[in-house]
Structure 1
Amino acid sequence: MISLVTLYDEAGLGPRLRDWLAGQGLDSRCQAAEIHAFPDGEIRVRVPEAVSETVVVVCTLDHPSEKTLALTFVCDVLRGLGAKRLWLVTPYLAYMRQDIAFHPGEGVSAASYARLLSRLVDAMVTVDPHLHRIPHLEDVYTVPSTALHATDVIGDWLNGRLTGKALLIGPDRESEQWVTAVAARCGLPFRVLDKERLGDRQVVIQVPDLAAEGYETVVLVDDMVSTGHTLMQVARQLRAQGIRDVRAVCVHALFGEDTTDEMRDAGIGELASCNTVAHVTNRIDVTPMIGRWIEDRLRGR
């Protein structure tokens, strides 16, 4: 028997993992950590039930400034309750984008955050962290850390959903690894665009005339979407070319409801994301891949 303890599990991943593990013949008990917020902003955490020696803590780390403190307190409580092994399941891992100091005096958040989390847990798994200048998680994390990839499940989800002559597009060079893998999985051609960023909310992208090449459906593929401005700029150009079926799929949806509406207004007809972060666009389930990671560790594989 292992324990699953969830924090901020709006996507319901904890119960999904419990059910998936049961299907593999592994017993687990899932409970939610209680978090009480005081008027002055302090919090109190509580784990209501006893736990086993091995505890899987499920906490996706969007809005990390809020969640990381609660995670720290909960890990301390679990150690006090007798947990000897803490494994962190964090489908979205924050603070990976700032992996270098661009100006004197800037912090390298990726390394700082890695040191913090490495002191809390004994092993960690995440899905498609934004590895750019850091090749591997264990280059900065000092505990066994696994980066799973959602490209296969995205490719499988796209299979059979596209009509006409279809193309996948990576909106910038950083998306190349994802669109390449998704395209290989579902057997579709792809292009990668070049993006010039003029600020946090201003980018310039030139899209070739794909309608002239006979494409009828275009799917924009990226690892994470926060402001959505890059995708919206590409979508507007595609619609102006006469391409009517423009869609977007990402691993991590970090944008709000207003941005969802703006993206649809820009011409993106279907938006889909993985359930790494709870979002109205969640269509693609990462539970089995995370479940297999837990199963492999439990069985010593």
Structure 2
Amino acid sequence: MKKIFFALPGNDELATLLAEKCHAELGKAIIRQFPDGETYVKIESDVKDKQVILICTLNHPNEKLLSLYYLSQTAKELGAKSICIVAPYLAYMRQDKRFLAGEGITSVYFAKLISSFADSLITIDPHLHRRSSLSEIYAIPTTVIHAAVLISKWIRGNIEKPLLVGPDIESEQWVSEVAHHADAPFIILKKIRRGDEEVEISVPDVEKYKEYTPVLVDDIISTARTMIETIGHLKKAGMKKPVCIGIHGIFANNAYSDLFFAGADKVITCNTIPHESNRIKIDEIISISINRTK
């Protein structure tokens, strides 16, 4: 089946790269706003009997969802065989339970909504905290791609004597995987409770790793508070300035500049969300998954 790619606003560069790698057509569509704020959609390419690939990373999802829905519905009405949404960053994964009485479990509602108008979904490292897979909430086939190997490759090629650092025991599995592929050592910061309200953070084997460059890795950099706190602990321990790496760089408020102010040497992200920190490209691994879809 022939594939045709469409870029939602802000996704043009990634859509072009993916269409080229998949040797597929890059479709033309118009998405704009009427003066009253309503959304206008027009598909100018032939989509009949084709697999339509919609490229739309879902940061700021409320601004993008209607355009995504309208484009999908229009393509279906014009004869598209199937709709595949490629969302390198998948939103609404945080609220996966009812923490307080009366709260909406929005991850479930969002999954139901996407499943109602798409036939498949491809994403990178969604924030699966209390769920083992997307299939628990999505009713359509989903493909989850992992960026750990890409991050490790970037570390090997760009950092001399890297030391992967995890802020707490919960990060150990993720940090150890990246460290393994990067052929680098890793440490996990230790919490020592001194009293009911006093917790001391220590850097294990600090003298052993004084000549190493600390590398902090996380799936999402949003407010960056955890990374900033970790940088503070490393600074107190006399470590070198760290490199901060995130798969998805949301950078809420002033998070990007706050990291540098706290003492980061570099801040690096994958290009799942367009940002000046993008250094690790994910188009190759996404194109492989797209070519496997039908």
Specify if TM > 0.5: yes
Q: After TM superposition, list the pairs within 5 Å mapping 1:65-214 onto structure 2.
A: 65-164=62-161, 166-193=162-189, 206-208=201-203, 211-214=206-209
Are 1:267 and 2:263 an aligned pair? yes
Q: Is the 8 A contact 1:9 1:58 kept in 2?
A: no
Q: Is the 8 A contact 2:11 2:56 kept in 1?
A: no
Amino acid at match of 1:214: Y
Amino acid at match of 1:188: A
Deviation at 1:206, TM superposition (A): 2.3
In terms of mean alpha carbon deviation, does 96-105 or 237-246 score higher?
237-246
Deviation at 1:11, TM superposition (A): 6.4
Name the CA shift for 1:73/1:207 in 2 (closer, same or farther; >3 Å): farther
Amino acid at match of 2:94: R
Name the CA shift for 1:9/1:210 in 2 (closer, same or farther; >3 Å): farther
The number of equivalent residue pairs is: 284
Structure 1 gaps of 5+ residues are 23-27, 196-203
In terms of mean alpha carbon deviation, does 6-15 or 119-128 score higher?
6-15
Superposition misfits of 4+ residues, deviation over 4 angstroms: none
Counterpart selection for 2:247 from 241, 248, 251: 251
Partner residue in 1 for 2:26: 30
Amino acid at match of 1:275: N
Name the CA shift for 1:70/1:217 in 2 (closer, same or farther; >3 Å): same
Partner residue in 1 for 2:194: none
In terms of mean alpha carbon deviation, does 220-229 or 170-179 score higher?
170-179
Name the CA shift for 1:125/1:30 in 2 (closer, same or farther; >3 Å): same
Q: After TM superposition, list the pairs within 5 Å mapping 1:281-292 onto structure 2.
A: 281-292=277-288
Q: Is the 8 A contact 1:11 1:275 kept in 2?
A: no
Q: Is the 8 A contact 1:249 1:272 kept in 2?
A: yes
Name the CA shift for 1:35/1:177 in 2 (closer, same or farther; >3 Å): farther
Structure 2 gaps of 5+ residues are 192-198
Identity %: 36
1-structure distance, mates of 2:53, 2:174? 28
Deviation at 1:176, TM superposition (A): 3.5
Partner residue in 1 for 2:196: none
Partner residue in 1 for 2:59: 62
2-structure distance, mates of 1:78, 1:91? 21
Name the CA shift for 1:111/1:205 in 2 (closer, same or farther; >3 Å): farther
2-structure distance, mates of 1:159, 1:31? 37
Are 1:9 and 2:5 an aligned pair? no
Q: Is the 8 A contact 1:239 1:246 kept in 2?
A: no
Q: Is the 8 A contact 1:132 1:174 kept in 2?
A: no
2-structure distance, mates of 1:39, 1:125? 33
Deviation at 1:230, TM superposition (A): 1.3
Amino acid at match of 1:140: I
1:24-43 CA deviation, whole Å, 9 max, x = no partner?
xxxx1113532212333222
Deviation at 1:228, TM superposition (A): 1.1
Deviation at 1:185, TM superposition (A): 0.5
Deviation at 1:253, TM superposition (A): 0.1
2-structure distance, mates of 1:170, 1:32? 44
1:71-91 CA deviation, whole Å, 9 max, x = no partner?
111111111111021111110
Name the CA shift for 1:173/1:259 in 2 (closer, same or farther; >3 Å): same
Q: Is the 8 A contact 2:5 2:52 kept in 1?
A: yes
In terms of mean alpha carbon deviation, does 145-154 or 170-179 score higher?
170-179
Amino acid at match of 2:54: V
